Each structure stands twice: as structure tokens, then as C-alpha cells.
Amino acid sequence: MIVPLEHIIILAAVLFGLGLVCTLVWRTNVIMLLIGIEIMLNAAMLVFVGGSARWGMPDGQVFALMIMAMTSAEVSLALALVVYLHRRRNSVDVDEFRELKD
């Protein structure tokens, strides 16, 4: 293993932070919010794979595969929701949708 685990964790932390900021700041667009979530998931996946390589256990890789499967399902569902919302309101602004309140 050439890349030490610390570097992987730092990279993952940076990615996670970027994703989080993207989610919190970009509130005018649901799609950017989804992208932020994806980036955070990928950061988590990176830690899994890095840990699996560090300790030679396949579990982490298995988890990464599971996350990939889950994300693809999640993205397809979320995009369908976005399309639906856009049709109803003609907007993708996150704060426009406040039906939970009413």
C-alpha cells in the first residue's frame, strides 16, 4: 500500500466537508443538494475502501459495493422526485417546498 491511511482519511474529510457545505449553502437548487449528498457518500465509501486495504479485510470493499448499489437506487428515485416537483411548481428551489408544514 503506497498511500498511507491518513492521507485517505484527510482526503475523505475534505470531500465530506465540501459535500456538506454544498448541501447547506446551495439552497436554491435541489440538484446541487443531491450532488452534495453524493459527494458525502463517496467520502464515506473512500474511508471504507481505505480501511479495507489497510487491514486487509474484504468487508470494507463489500460495503463500498453496497453503497454504490444504494446510491444508484437513491439517485434514480431522487431525480424522479425532482422532475415531478419541477413539473408541479416549475421551480427547484429547496425552500419553495414547505408542504410538510401545512
Partner 1 sequence: MKLYLELIILFPLSGAIVNLLLGGRLLPRRASEILACAAIWGSFVATVAAATAYSAPMTVEITSWLAAFDLKAPISLYLDPLSLSLCLMITFVCGLIHTYAVGYMKDDPSPVRFFALLNLFVAAMLTLVLAGNLPLLYLGWEGVGFCSYALIGFWYRDPQNATAGRKAFIVTRIGDIGLGIAIVWLFQLCGTVSIQQLNQMGANIPPGVITALGLLMLLGAMGKSAQVPLMVWLPDAMAGPTPVSAQIHAATMVTAGVYLLMRMFPLIGSSASLCAAIAVTGALTAFYGATCALAQRDLKRILAYSTISQIGYMMLGVGSGAISAATFHLLVHAFFKALLFLGAGCVITALHHEQDIFRMGGLRRSLPWTFWPFLGGALCLAGLPLTGGFFSKDGILAAVWLKGGALYGGLYFAGLLTAFITAVYTMRMVLIVFEGEEIPLNPPLSKGEVKSLPRVMEWTLLPLALLGIFGGLLNLPEFLGGGVLNSFLSHPGSQELQLSHSSELLLQGVAAVVALAGMATAWLRYGGLRRQLRLTEAELPARGLSAFLLEGWRVDALYDLLFVRTYIRLSGFLWQQLDEGCIDDSLDRIAAQLGRWGQRLGGWGEGRVSLSLLSMAAGAALIIVWLTWVTI
Interface with partner 1 includes 101 (CB under 8 A)?
A: yes
CB of 46 to partner 1, least distance (A): 18
Binding segment toward partner 1, per CB under 8 A, in 7-15, 41-49, 67-75, 94-102: 94-102
Quote the least distance from Cβ 94 to partner 1, whole Å: 5
Q: What angle do CA 44, 48, 50 make, to 5 degrees?
A: 115
Footprint on residues 20-49 left by partner 1 (CB under 8 A): 20, 23-24, 27, 33
Say which DSSP state 3 is in. Answer: S
Q: Helix axis angle, 5-25 relative to 30-55, nearest 10°?
A: 170
